[in-house]
Amino acid sequence: MDLFGPPELWLPVAFAALMGVSILVYVCLDGYDLGVGALFPFADEQEKDRMIASIGPFWDANETWLVLAIGILLVAFPAAHGMILTALYLPVAIMLIGLILRGVAFDFRAKARPAHKPGWDRAFCAGSLMASLSQGFMLGMYIMGLEMTLFTLAFASLTALALTVAYSFIGAGWLIFKTEGALQAKAIRQARRGLWGVVVGLGAVSVASPIVSPRIMDKWISVPEIFLLAPLPLMSGLLIVALWLLLRNMPLVGDRLSWLPFALTVALFTLGYLGMAYSFYPYVVPERLTIYDAASAPESLFIILIGTVFVLPVIAGYTVLSYVIFRGKATELRYD
C-alpha cells in the first residue's frame, strides 16, 4: 500500500485519473450515439432505421461509462458528489429524463404499434437533445465554479449548444464510419457544418476558463508552462485543419479512411479534455474542494482500486470484442 508513498496522497490522484478517463470515454462513446439522436430529424424513415442499427449493439454499454464516472465521484469523492449534484439539481433531472426517454424509445419504436413509431422517434430525438444540452449546460456551470449569475447562465447556455454540436459532430463521424451511400454523404455534409460549431465551443471554453479563474490563467500563462503546454492547442489546431481537409474531400474512392473523421474527433476531444483537466487539477469542485479534501478513507478506496485494476482490463477486452463482432458497415438489426 505504501509502495508509491503515502496512500492518502496518491489514491485521490489515482481515482481522479480513473474518473477522468471514464468521463472522457463516456463523452466519446455516448457522445456519438447521443449525436446520432440529435441528427435524427434530418433523416428519412429508412435512414432512421439504419442510424439506429449503427448504435444498437453499443449504446447500453456506452451509457454505463456515465454510471462508472458518477459512481467513482460518488464513492471516491462523496463530499464533491453531493456539492456538485445538489448545485446542478435541475439539469441533472432533465438529463436523466432525457436519457430515460431515448433509451426506451430505442426499443419501443421497433416493438410498438407501427402507428406509434413516429412518436417514439420524436422521443428518441428529444431525449438525446435533452441529455446533450443539459450535459453541456452542466459543463458550463462547472467551469464557472457552480455560481449562479446571469453571466454564468448565459455561458452555460453557450456550452450547452456547443456540446450538443460537438456530439452531433462525432455522431456524424460515427455515421460516416458505419454507413454508406446517401446516408454517409449526408453525414459528411453535416460534419462539415458541425466542425465550425466545435471550433466555437472549444474556443469559448479555452478563452472563458482563464478569464473566470486567475488561478487557471496562471497555470497556462506562466513560464515554462506556456512552452510545455503549447503542443496542446497547436495539435488541436492541426487536428481541426486535418478534419476540415478530410471532410472536404470525402467520400474517398473505395470508402477509404471512412474511420478517420471519427478517430480524429476522438483525438480532438481528448486534447480538449486534457486541457480542461490540467486547468482544474487539483480541484474536483472548482476553487472550492480539492480531490484530497473530498476523498474517502484510504482503506475503502484501496479495496475499490484492487477491483478496478483487475476488472477494467477485462471490461476493455469484452468491449473491444463487441466492436469487433459488430465491425463493418451497420446492417439491419435482427434478433435471429
Partner 1 sequence: MDTLLFSRIQFGANISFHILFPTITIALGWMLLYFKLRFARSGAERWMQAYRFWVKIFALSFAMGVVSGITMSFQFGTNWPGFMETVGNIAGPLLAYEVLTAFFLEAVFLGIMLFGFSRVPGWLHTLATFLVAFGTTMSAFWILVLSSWMHTPAGYEMRDGVAHATDWFAIIFNPSMPYRLAHMLLASGLTVAFLLAGLSAYRWLRDNRSDEVRLSLVTGLGLGAILMPVQILMGDLHGLNTLEHQPAKVAAMEGNWDTGGNVPLLLFALPDEAARENRAAIAIPNGASLILTHKAEGVVPGLNDFITEEGEVLHPPVAPVFYAFRVMVGTGVAMLALSWVAIGLMTWRRRGADALPRPILLALVPMTFSGWVATLAGWYTTEIGRQPWLVTGLMTTEQAVADVPAPMVATTLAMYLAVYAVLLAAYIGVLFHLARKSGSATPRPDPRRTGLNPIPAE
What residues from 114 to 143 belong to the interface with partner 1 (CB under 8 A)? 114
Of the two residues 76 and 202, which places its CB atom closer to partner 1 in the complex? 76
Of the two residues 71 and 233, which places its CB atom closer to partner 1 in the complex? 71
d(CA 265, CA 239): 8
> Which of the 8 DSSP states describes residue 326?
T
What residues from 271 to 300 belong to the interface with partner 1 (CB under 8 A)? 296-297, 299-300
Of the two residues 56 and 145, which places its CB atom closer to partner 1 in the complex? 56
Sole binder of partner 1 in the list 58, 169, 220, 283 (CB under 8 A): 58
| Biggest distance spanned by C-alpha atoms of the chain | 64
Of the two residues 111 and 248, which places its CB atom closer to partner 1 in the complex? 111
Q: What is the DSSP annotation of 264-290?
A: HHHHHHHHHHHHHHHHHTTEEETTTEE
Buried b / exposed e along 9-33 (16+ C-beta atoms within 10 A): eebbebbbebbbbbbbbbbbbbbbb
In whole angstroms, the minimum distance from the beta carbon of 120 to partner 1 comes to 9
Does the CA dihedral 266-269-275-280 come out positive or negative? Answer: negative
Of the two residues 5 and 313, which places its CB atom closer to partner 1 in the complex? 313
- Establish if 78 lies at the interface with partner 1 (CB under 8 A): yes
d(CA 21, CA 259): 22
Sole binder of partner 1 in the list 75, 217, 242, 289 (CB under 8 A): 75
Binding to partner 1 by CB under 8 A, coded x per residue (else -) over 316-335, reads: --xx-xx--xx-----xxxx
- Establish if 153 lies at the interface with partner 1 (CB under 8 A): no
Of the two residues 108 and 167, which places its CB atom closer to partner 1 in the complex? 108
- Establish if 50 lies at the interface with partner 1 (CB under 8 A): yes
Buried b / exposed e along 258-281 (16+ C-beta atoms within 10 A): bebbbebbbbbbbbbbebbeebbe
Sole binder of partner 1 in the list 93, 235, 245, 263 (CB under 8 A): 93
d(CA 141, CA 244): 30
- Establish if 166 lies at the interface with partner 1 (CB under 8 A): no
Does the CA dihedral 240-241-242-244 come out positive or negative? Answer: positive
In whole angstroms, the minimum distance from the beta carbon of 218 to partner 1 comes to 31
- Establish if 43 lies at the interface with partner 1 (CB under 8 A): no
- Establish if 89 lies at the interface with partner 1 (CB under 8 A): yes
Of the two residues 175 and 250, which places its CB atom closer to partner 1 in the complex? 175
Query: Are the beta carbons of 134 and 98 closer than 8 angstroms?
Result: yes
- Establish if 26 lies at the interface with partner 1 (CB under 8 A): no
